[in-house]
Amino acid sequence: MSSISRLKVLYIEDNQFSREEMRHFLKKRVQKVFTASDGAEGLSAFALYKPDIVIADLLMPNMDGLEMMRRIKAMQESVHFIVATSVNKVETVIETVDLGVEGYIVKPIDFAELELKLMKIGDAVAARAKSCPGVFDKIENKRAAEDNIKRELVKEMKDFTGKGPRETVVQLLGSSVKITNFGAVTKLEESLLADAKNFEMIKHMRTVAYESMAGAFIAIVEKHTGVKASLEGISIDLKKGVEQVVLAG
């Protein structure tokens, strides 16, 4: 498996067309893609998703790229940066190097060049992951922790939606918590799914529900592991009846 395919990437760009073009390019190559439209939104997205790589423009509203990168670096020293911008002043390049930027691409973006930079960073991320065990690998009795987390999560979901999932699997894997639910849709949602036109609406509703419960999920995981996690992603497959929430430690 390519080292790129395991990466989580956050792309920050105020131009909607460029943002969608990059999202489309990355979606086919990396594990997760997150996007933001300005520096302030990018900072919030980073705090929420903890990506491996941040690709950002420098000239953005609400907070410029340099200030955003400084703040991100203060939050997580190991983050990788790639700058994609039309700004090519020597003093600006020097400033980005001081922040530990590993790639500098002048627009219009050469996607072949970008892919090479992603491969290099992907290899570094994979090597670091191999040499450093994940936070959840250090837990002495993972099975007991998983069982305790599962019991409280099921209760939380039942209290929130009025119906718990048919089956829940909790896995503490490296630096991630994978929560997989089977048969979690309510009877009302089931009836609405009889019409294929309602699939996207129900998927959105399920996603919003998990986003609303994320804080409780994070608190439950911290209670039983001592690890403060963050929401990494939510996936909903209504046809298979499988829903997954991933938290990153």
Same domain for 202 and 243?
yes
Residues 67 and 163 reside in one and the same domain: no
Low-confidence residues in the chain, pLDDT < 50: 1, 90
In whole angstroms, what is the distance from residue 72 CA to residue 44 CA? 10
CA pair distance 128, 114, nearest whole angstrom: 21
Q: Specify the pLDDT at position 214.
A: 95
Whether 151 and 83 share a structural domain: no
* CA distances, 10 to each of 32, 33, 107, 213, 238 (Å): 8, 6, 18, 23, 27
* 143 and 126, same domain (yes or no): no
Instruction: Determine the pLDDT at residue 87.
Output: 63
CB 77 within 8 A of CB 53: no
Q: What is the pLDDT of residue 70?
A: 85
- What pLDDT does residue 90 have? 46
| 43 touches 73 (CB < 8 A) | no
* Same-domain status, 118 and 146: no
Are 9 and 89 in the same domain? yes
Cβ 236 vs Cβ 183: under 8 Å: no
Token pair in block for residue 230: 């963050």
Question: DSSP letter at 141?
Answer: T
Query: Which domain range does residue 46 map to?
Result: 3-131
Strand 242-248 and strand 176-182: the pairing is antiparallel
Domain stops at, among 112, 131, 150: 131
DSSP code per residue over 27-73: HTTSSEEEEESSHHHHHHHHHHH--SEEEE-SS-SSS-HHHHHHHHH
For residues 15 and 106, state if they share a domain.
yes
**Domain's final residue, options 99, 131, 163:** 131
What secondary structure letter does DSSP report for 189? H
Domains: count for the chain? 2
Same domain flag for 63 and 110 = yes
User: What are the start-end ranges of the E strands in the chain?
Assistant: 8-12, 32-36, 53-56, 80-85, 101-106, 167-173, 176-182, 230-237, 242-248
Contacts of 134 (CB under 8 A, 6+ apart): 173, 174, 175, 176, 249
Q: How far apart are the C-alpha atoms of 225 and 97, rounded to whole Å? A: 37
Indicate which CATH number applies to the domain containing 204.
3.30.980
State the CATH number of the domain containing residue 84.
3.40.50.2300
pLDDT of residue 99: 58
Final residue in a domain of this structure, among 70, 101, 131: 131
Question: Which pLDDT score is estimated for 10?
Answer: 96
Closest CA to 13 of 53, 52, 55, 62: 55
